[in-house]
């Protein structure tokens, strides 16, 4: 029988990247030795290139790199690595990676810092030492070209790209808003941030996550990507996708939320995490089979490209499977609705995948569980799977937007759409922020406050 | 392609259209737990709405969603006034777009939460 069991996949690239100095004495020594010779840079949010509102904070990428979520990436990419990612979606080592990860600064800051290759830069967050960047290379980019090449176009990627990316696409805007000077090199966190509630209890870096799976005896675990509070359709997606396993259904469901700058109209991060927690607290899924976690990342909404990153993160966390639905990590109509599933089932040659992601060299080991959709069927009188239910004409589709519409008008969604415990969480944070969704005020507040505070190193 | 604007009906709204021809178009969805009116619009009107409101989007059901509450309220009022679900009611709302945008700007700062107990 055991030959039928799935094994927990190795981290992407072979081993987990962990670039965090946890010993304060050692961290202080590093800082001390830097006092005379290292420049200091205060991390600032990336601002929208036209509107000036925050769209990203590079601290989230530094956290995700140093705690191993993005293994095997170890820092800000060199120009050769960037080129390799943009042309082949591969790191120079050959491992698949979809997006540029860059530490960008303005020309003015570059001049002021006076750094050159071989220097170490101390990065401060909220005025306190946070991380070091060992500069291997300094180069200049054209942010518009970077944004265009990151996502492609209907001409270069005709298999799945339907519309030209523009400033209505939040991911394109993030790269377009990058500063032109790139400092490439490895990051090391020297002062571990302290997460604020409620983020503290959902912070589970890959090593800890793998340990939890081990302790719980989860041989198989399926990942659920989210940037939303769960409606009943999401719950059914989780429950049904989890029937996939090896010789029995998946032992566990790992909810991994993407926490970072959100679009107006999304739910606040705090509500997203606690609402998923409410699903197991209220027993809709047993808490023994369901963990809620997150990754810090300002979402790029790159549908198939984002699915690669999601696969990498959750493989690093130890999952054997990843569920993918329609319009995965998508916004607007830039991509084919099933672009992610095309990538994982057939490949997308123009993005560097002439075969499915699991079959290419340097590819992923986590298995896709491609799901179609769930709808409410008034004939079956239940939440039904689109490929099972033969009442397509009568179907009533759930969508996050439908629920947002109800919420905004103060109408409590029926329990068939959203669990009352989940709605309570939405209202809890609505009361705190004076608004149920992300708005300009929330983004400004959140990007000043961030998810963390930095302790004194003294 | 046809796009849909949904107008959810609570008791107040149901009362307001009682006896009018649109009452026959009320649909009960999700096991009868929600009552809704559906207004169908074409490409041009859809684009006008998306252009007017940054948050507006098209969901997987071809519904135009995430429009401001002020827009939805005005749409219902126009339906009740014209007693119709034709595209004309949306055009009448779009004719007052500046006024709606002003109201929407205020509501993007604050919306009163429902009075339910939370932990």
Condensed to tens digits (0 to 9), the pLDDT of residues A305-344 reads 999 999 999 999 999 999 999 889 998 889 999 999 999 9
- Res A63: pLDDT: 98
Confidence of residue A1 (pLDDT cuts 50, 70, 90): low
Contact status of A417 with chain B (Cβ, < 8 Å): yes
Q: Which of A373, A374, A409, A445 to mutate to test the interface with B (most CBs of B within 10 A)?
A: A409
**Residue B100, min C-alpha distance to chain A (Å):** 15
- State yes or no: pLDDT of A458 exceeds 80: no
Question: Cβ distance A181 to A104 under 8 Å?
Answer: yes
User: Kind of pairing, strands A75-76 and A181-189?
Assistant: antiparallel
Environment class of A225 (CB within 10 Å of its CB; exposed 0-12, middle 13-18, buried 19+): buried
- Give the residue with greater pLDDT, A41 vs B56: A41
Contact status of B33 with chain A (Cβ, < 8 Å): yes
Question: Cβ distance A242 to A203 under 8 Å?
Answer: no
* Tens-place pLDDT, residues A8-52: 999 999 999 999 999 999 999 999 988 888 999 999 999 999 999
Q: State how far the alpha carbon of B72 is from the alpha carbons of A137, A266, B62, in Å.
A: 53, 19, 17
Q: Which residues of B touch A331 (CB under 8 A)?
A: 57
- Res A275: pLDDT: 98
| Phi and psi, residue B44, nearest 5° | -65, -45
Q: Which residues of A touch B65 (CB under 8 A)?
A: 399, 401-402, 404-405
Q: Taking CB atoms and an 8 Å limit, are A416 and B30 in contact across chains?
A: yes
Q: Which neighbouring-strand residues pair with A189? A: A20, A131
- Encoding tokens for residue A261? 């700058």
- State yes or no: pLDDT of A2 exceeds 90: no
Q: Which residues of B touch A337 (CB under 8 A)?
A: 60
- CA separation for the pair A63, A70 (Å, rounded): 9
User: Kind of pairing, strands A54-57 and A120-125?
Assistant: unpaired
- Res A397: pLDDT: 87
Q: Which residues of B touch A417 (CB under 8 A)?
A: 30, 33-34
Q: Taking CB atoms and an 8 Å limit, are B60 and A397 in contact across chains?
A: yes
**Residue A27, min C-alpha distance to chain B (Å):** 40
Mean pLDDT of A349-359: 97
* Tens-place pLDDT, residues A55-81: 999 999 999 999 999 999 999 999 999
| Phi and psi, residue B95, nearest 5° | -65, -20
Closest residue, chain A, to B9 (C-alpha): A411
- CA separation for the pair A295, A67 (Å, rounded): 10
Contact status of A396 with chain B (Cβ, < 8 Å): yes
Q: Which residues of B touch A426 (CB under 8 A)?
A: none
- For residue A12, the number of C-alpha atoms closer than 13 Å in the C-beta half-sphere is 38
Closest residue, chain B, to A379 (C-alpha): B31
Q: Which residues of A touch B111 (CB under 8 A)?
A: 408, 410, 430, 434-436
How long is chain A?
Answer: 458
**Residue B32, min C-alpha distance to chain A (Å):** 9
DSSP, residue by residue, A251-287: SEEEEEEEES---TTSPPHHHHHHHHHHHHHTTSS-G
Residue A100's H or E segment, with its range, is: none
- CA separation for the pair A270, A431 (Å, rounded): 12
Q: Which neighbouring-strand residues pair with A267? A: none
Closest residue, chain B, to A373 (C-alpha): B60
- State yes or no: pLDDT of A165 exceeds 90: yes
Confidence of residue A384 (pLDDT cuts 50, 70, 90): very high
Q: For A322-439, where are the alpha helices, taking DSSP H only?
A: 339-345, 400-408, 420-433
| Phi and psi, residue A128, nearest 5° | -120, 150
Question: Cβ distance A233 to A415 under 8 Å?
Answer: no
Closest residue, chain A, to B36 (C-alpha): A406
- Res B55: pLDDT: 80
Confidence of residue B59 (pLDDT cuts 50, 70, 90): confident
Helix, strand, or coil (residue A79): helix
DSSP, residue by residue, chain B: --EEEEEE--HHHHHHTTTSGGGGG-EEETTTTEEEEEEEE-HHHHHHHHHH-TT-EE-TTSBEE---HHHHHHHHHHHHHHT--SHHHHHHHHTTHHHHHHHHHHHTT--PPP-----
User: How far is it between the farthest Cα atoms of chain A?
Assistant: 74
- For residue A167, the number of C-alpha atoms closer than 13 Å in the C-beta half-sphere is 9
Contact status of B117 with chain A (Cβ, < 8 Å): yes
Confidence of residue B31 (pLDDT cuts 50, 70, 90): confident
Q: Which neighbouring-strand residues pair with A47? A: A54
* Tens-place pLDDT, residues A389-412: 999 999 998 877 788 888 888 778
DSSP assignment letter at A119:
-
Question: Cβ distance B92 to B82 under 8 Å?
Answer: yes
Closest residue, chain B, to A404 (C-alpha): B66
């Amino acid at each position: 029988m055991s030959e039928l069991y799935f094994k927990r996949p190795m981290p992407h690239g072979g081993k987990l990247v962990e670039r965090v100095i946890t010993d304060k004495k050692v961290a202080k020594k590093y800082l001390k030795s830097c006092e005379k010779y290292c420049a200091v840079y205060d991390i600032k949010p990336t601002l929208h290139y036209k509107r000036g509102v925050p769209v990203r904070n590079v601290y989230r990428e530094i956290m995700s790199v140093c705690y191993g979520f993005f293994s095997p990436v170890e820092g800000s990419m060199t120009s050769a690595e960037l080129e390799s990612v943009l042309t082949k979606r591969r790191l120079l080592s050959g491992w698949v990676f979809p997006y540029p990860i860059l530490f960008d600064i303005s020309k003015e800051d570059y001049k002021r810092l006076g750094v050159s290759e071989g220097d170490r830069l101390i990065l401060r967050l909220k005025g306190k030492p946070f991380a070091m960047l060992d500069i291997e290379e300094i180069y200049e980019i054209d942010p518009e070209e970077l944004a265009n090449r990151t996502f492609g176009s209907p001409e270069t990627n005709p298999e799945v790209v339907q519309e030209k990316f523009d400033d209505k696409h939040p991911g394109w805007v993030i790269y377009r808003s990058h500063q032109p000077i790139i400092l490439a090199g490895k990051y090391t966190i020297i002062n571990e941030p302290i997460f604020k509630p409620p983020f503290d209890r959902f912070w589970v870096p890959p090593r800890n996550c793998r340990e939890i799976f081990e302790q719980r005896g989860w041989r198989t675990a399926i990942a659920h990507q989210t940037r939303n509070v769960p409606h009943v359709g999401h719950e059914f997606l989780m429950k049904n996708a989890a029937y996939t396993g090896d010789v029995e259904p998946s032992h566990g469901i790992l909810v991994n939320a993407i926490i970072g700058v959100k679009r107006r109209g999304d739910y606040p991060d705090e509500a997203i995490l606690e609402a998923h927690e409410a699903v197991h607290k209220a027993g809709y899924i047993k808490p023994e089979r369901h963990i809620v976690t997150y990754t810090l990342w300002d979402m790029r909404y790159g549908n198939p490209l984002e699915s690669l990153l999601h696969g990498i993160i959750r493989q690093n966390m130890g999952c054997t499977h990843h569920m993918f639905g329609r319009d995965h990590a998508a916004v607007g109509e830039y991509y084919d609705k099933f672009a992610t599933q095309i990538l994982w089932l057939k490949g997308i040659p123009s993005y560097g995948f002439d075969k499915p992601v699991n079959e290419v060299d340097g590819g992923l080991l986590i298995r896709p569980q491609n799901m179609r959709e769930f709808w409410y069927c008034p004939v079956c009188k239940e939440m039904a799977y689109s490929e099972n239910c033969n009442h397509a004409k009568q179907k009533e589709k759930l969508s996050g937007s439908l629920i947002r519409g109800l919420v905004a008008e103060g109408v409590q969604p029926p329990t068939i759409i959203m669990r009352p415990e989940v709605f309570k969480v939405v209202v809890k944070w609505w009361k705190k922020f004076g608004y149920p969704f992300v708005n300009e005020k929330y983004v400004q507040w959140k990007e000043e406050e961030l998810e963390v505070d930095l302790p004194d190193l003294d | 392609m046809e796009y849909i604007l949904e107008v959810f009906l609570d008791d107040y709204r149901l009362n307001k259209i009682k006896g009018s021809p649109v009452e026959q178009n009320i649909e009960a969805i999700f096991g009868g737990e929600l009552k809704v009116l559906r207004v169908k619009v074409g490409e041009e009107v859809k684009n006008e709405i998306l252009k007017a409101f940054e948050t507006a989007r098209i969901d997987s059901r071809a519904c135009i969603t995430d429009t401001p509450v002020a827009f939805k309220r005005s749409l219902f009022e126009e339906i009740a006034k014209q007693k119709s679900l034709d595209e004309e009611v949306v055009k009448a709302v779009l004719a007052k777009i500046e006024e709606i945008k002003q109201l929407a700007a205020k509501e993007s700062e604050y919306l009163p939460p429902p009075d339910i107990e939370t932990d």
